[in-house]
Structure 1
Amino acid sequence: MKGLVTALLFLVVCISWGTTWLGIKIAVETVPPLTASGLRFLIAFPLFLGFALLRGEPLLFPKARLGFFVFVTLCYFSLPYYLLNYGELQVSSGLTALLFSCMPVFILIFSAIFLRERIHLSQVVGIAIGFGSLFMILRGQGLSLAHSGFAGVLAILAAALMHALCYVVTKQRGARISVITYNTLPIGLAGLMLFSAGLGLEQPDFSGISAESWWALAYLGLCASVGGFIVYFFLLKRLSPVVLSFVFIIFPVFAVLIGAWYEGQAISRDFALYAATLLAGFALTKLPLERLAERLAPRG
């Protein structure tokens, strides 16, 4: 029964994060990207705050980690989520999910640079396969330097890059900080800053926001942010990091299928082939093949 519950929760995370991209797409149809990012976090913050108070978790980072707190607020929540919202104005939700699935690969690269972790040959091969497939996908989508969609691609990749850097820096400086503390106050401040910037720069017309966009924002704030977060960290204590990291390989599949259905786009054979190859390449970076070979090698 425990195994069944764990499998169902794993599926919940995949579906929750897989539908996040469509939620963003619907939200920014009638809400400007800065405002949409801020509203999402402002909706999520009260639940995170209540969860922190219920568990008796501190809201403030340690005094020695004030700079790290600013870094997390800006580089994990504020800028990346604005870039994701902006990117989805130009790019389909399914392609956004595929682009963001590069994030674990960036973690691997940053870990090698900052943490001196070794990159194995199979991981290099997986990275080459993944990014080669991504190039073919972008070429097949007709994106070029002259196309407005390329700005959206760059924005999404920049968001993935910033998230990856934040994960690596967190491993260095924030390993002892509770995950509740890590998220609660930064989400609240990021929401306030993004929403305030949206009011000043975008001057949104709230009367023109559709009911679908409001529902999407509520879903992003309550289900994708809070629910996905709680279930993910629940699973983090019960599954190995390698197994759980495959969430980043599986959720783009849901995102592509759901996004194609909503946006009325047919999935071409070439797109499906290159997407599958991309995810297979990134999955290869997560499999410790060299370590397994060393264990199976005969000992003299």
Structure 2
Amino acid sequence: MKKSVIYVLISTLMFSSMEIALKVAGSEFNPIQLNLLRFFIGGAVLLPFAFYELHKRRRKLNLDDWKAFAFTGFACVVISMTLYQLAIVYDKPAIVAVLFSCNPVFAVIFAYFILHERIGRANLISLIISVIGLIVIVNPFNLTNPVGIILSLLSAVTFGFYSILSQSCSVKRNLDGITITCFTFIAGSFELFVLSLITNIPAVASGMKTVGWLNQFAAIPILKDVNLQNFWILFFIGVCVTGGGFAFYF
């Protein structure tokens, strides 16, 4: 029990520092690039643990497993965490952290529709209180930064969806949480890598630059500014926050 508490405290410390670290790193890297690097490093950190779990279960990954990872990776890394990264660019880290932490509210709703889990009285009360809390924080009658808030909420919604997808995948494919998370990160970072390469095609990049809100998605860099000067911030975000945080959590 004491060991579990220590693991929870360490993972909480790692996750709670995430928004500040990403805000600092955002001044050095393109937000999409940072998302790609972060989850690639995080997946690599979790890889030994995932292999250990697979060996313990005498389980080998097959094509259907990778199809599931491609789906969860797209939902988590490409959609949810990209929205999250952009939210940090547009809004204060503290606001983003609070709004994103409400993703279990949406997970309960998705669990009802996807897993057919019953919403009990306690869950219903907590949902109502959480929604009231969200309204108070967002303050729709006095919105000062609607873009950041909308991105934060969309990130929370899609992460709630991803968490239920992972739970469903765990049951159907008989895989543990750390294995699903590891290969979700790897699959998602690969998908983001391919999308980033597409944005570097001259015709695609020039077309995106003509549309205002797509401008920052044009010609997304891959390894730009990945150097010794930025080693420690990448190490902290990739190894400690993403890889380590999830490892201690599981």
Matched, 1:40 2:48: no
Shift of 1:208: 9.8
Please provide the CA RMSD for this pair: 2.9
TM-score (norm 2): 0.77
Matched, 1:174 2:170: yes
SS in 1 for 2:143: coil
Quickly say closer, same or farther: Cα 1:72–1:61, change in 2 above 3 A.
Answer: farther
- Unmatched segments (≥5 aa) in structure 2: 201-217
Shift of 1:130: 1.9
Task: Give the corresponding residue for 1:130.
Answer: 130
Task: Give the corresponding residue for 1:24.
Answer: 22
1:21-58, Cα deviation, whole Å (9 max, x unpaired): 11111121221111000111222333233344455548
Matched, 1:70 2:70: yes
1:153 maps to amino acid: I
Task: Give the corresponding residue for 2:98.
Answer: 98
SS in 1 for 2:26: helix
2:165 maps to amino acid: V
| C-alpha contact 1:13 1:228 (8 A) present in aligned 2 | yes
- Unmatched segments (≥5 aa) in structure 1: 234-300
Aligned counterparts of 2:85 and 2:190: Cα–Cα separation in 1: 16
| C-alpha contact 1:76 1:162 (8 A) present in aligned 2 | yes
Aligned counterparts of 2:149 and 2:228: Cα–Cα separation in 1: 26
Quickly say closer, same or farther: Cα 1:112–1:42, change in 2 above 3 A.
Answer: closer
Larger radius of gyration: 1
Aligned counterparts of 1:62 and 1:209: Cα–Cα separation in 2: 36
SS in 2 for 1:29: coil
| C-alpha contact 1:34 1:195 (8 A) present in aligned 2 | no
Quickly say closer, same or farther: Cα 1:140–1:158, change in 2 above 3 A.
Answer: closer
2:232 maps to amino acid: W
Task: Give the corresponding residue for 1:206.
Answer: 224
Task: Give the corresponding residue for 2:207.
Answer: none
Quickly say closer, same or farther: Cα 1:56–1:132, change in 2 above 3 A.
Answer: closer
Question: Which segment drifts farther, 58-67 or 84-93?
Answer: 58-67
SS in 1 for 2:175: coil
Shift of 1:20: 1.2
| C-alpha contact 1:37 1:195 (8 A) present in aligned 2 | no
Task: Give the corresponding residue for 1:143.
Answer: 143
| C-alpha contact 1:88 1:152 (8 A) present in aligned 2 | yes
Shift of 1:196: 4.9
1:137-162, Cα deviation, whole Å (9 max, x unpaired): 22299525xxxx32222222222222
TM-score (norm 1): 0.65
Aligned counterparts of 1:120 and 1:220: Cα–Cα separation in 2: 37
Shift of 1:189: 3.2
Matched, 1:226 2:220: no
Quickly say closer, same or farther: Cα 1:9–1:178, change in 2 above 3 A.
Answer: closer
Aligned counterparts of 2:102 and 2:96: Cα–Cα separation in 1: 10
Aligned residues: 226
Shift of 1:225: 1.7
Shift of 1:108: 1.1
